Structure 1
Amino acid sequence: MSDKQDVLDANYAFYRAFEKRDFEAMTAVWSQGSDSLCIHPGRSPLKGWPQISKSWQTIFRATKYMEIDTEITLVEVSGDLAYVVLIENVTQISGSNRMQASSTATNLFERMGGKWYLIHHHGSPLLN
């Protein structure tokens, strides 16, 4: 299997964990390092796994249903670093509210111990 495919598989695992609101799977995808960074659309940066994990727990608790479609626009691998640029189309049901949003996202992965881990996720809302 190619490095590019391995990165795409790690990216898929991230969105699968996100969509299924699976905190254990999300934990397995992310680097637990203090330098990891997550920027949810319209939010301030979260640095380090403790802050990042709290944000995912909050999102998962507040959401009854989520569906995510992605449109990958670019995948690059350079040594032990790789990034995926894509469009996220998210449908979310929280309480009685149904929300739909699209974001441009960049996911940065680092290969550690032969496995690709997410070290940076940045989502920027697309304005219609």
Structure 2
Amino acid sequence: MPRLPAKLQAAMGGTPDDVEVAFYEALQSADIEKLMACWADEDEIVCIHPGGPRVVGAGAIRAAFEAMFAHGGSIQARAEHIRRIDALASAVHHVLEKVEVLTPEGAAQAYVLATNVYHKTPQGWRMVVHHASPGTQGAAQEINQAPQVLH
């Protein structure tokens, strides 16, 4: 993967949240360079779109997003209800994506459940996995266990 221009590297920020914001902004603006700047420079990075195959490596991930952008332009996905598990060198974000899609009847909303995994690399925080699955319509997108009080 070629080195990124300094402007894109600087735009990545210093936290997994910064990378996540940049990733969704890149989807919304169909900016392939900004989108790829979110990904780690590693051979084993993985992207799985809803109902799709496992796409491995920067070249294959770039091609998959380029094809998506070519067929429909930008992807109007917004991250909502983010659950985070953060550690010193890795972070896992479970995200409810609200996606606007065009149907024969007009604009509609769909939901996607995604897991975004970030690693701290020599270049800063970068995405190593984006795994998205179809969500369900409506507000109930997760099941929580009620906290148990012992006293």
Q: What is the deviation of 1:75?
A: 1.2
The one of the two structures with greater contact order (alpha-carbon pairs below 8 A, sep at least 6) is 1
Deviations 1:66-114 (A, max 9, x none): 42222133112112111111100111459xx755321110000011115
CA distance in 2, matches of 1:100, 1:121: 20
Does the 8 A contact of 1:72 with 1:84 survive in 2? no
Gaps of 5+ in 1: none
Aligned to 2:133: 124
Instruction: Tell me the secondary structure at the aligned position of residue 50 of structure 1.
Output: helix
- The alignment yields a C-alpha RMSD, in angstroms, of 2.3
Residue segments in structure 2 that go unaligned for 5+ positions in a row: 1-13, 138-151
Q: Of 25, 29, 45, which aligns to 1:16?
A: 25
Residue matched to 1:74 = 83
Note closer, same or farther for the CA distance 1:65–1:46 as it changes in structure 2 (3 Å cut). Answer: closer
Normalising by the residue count of structure 2, what TM-score does the alignment of the two structures yield?
0.73
In the alignment, the residues of structure 2 paired with residue 62 and residue 114 of structure 1 have an alpha-carbon distance, to the nearest angstrom, of: 32
How many aligned residue pairs are there? 124
- In our comparison, the structure showing a higher alpha carbon Rg is 2
More strand by percentage: 1
Once the two structures are TM-superposed, the CA of residue 7 in structure 1 deviates from its matched residue by 1.2
Q: Is the 8 A contact 1:17 1:25 kept in 2?
A: yes
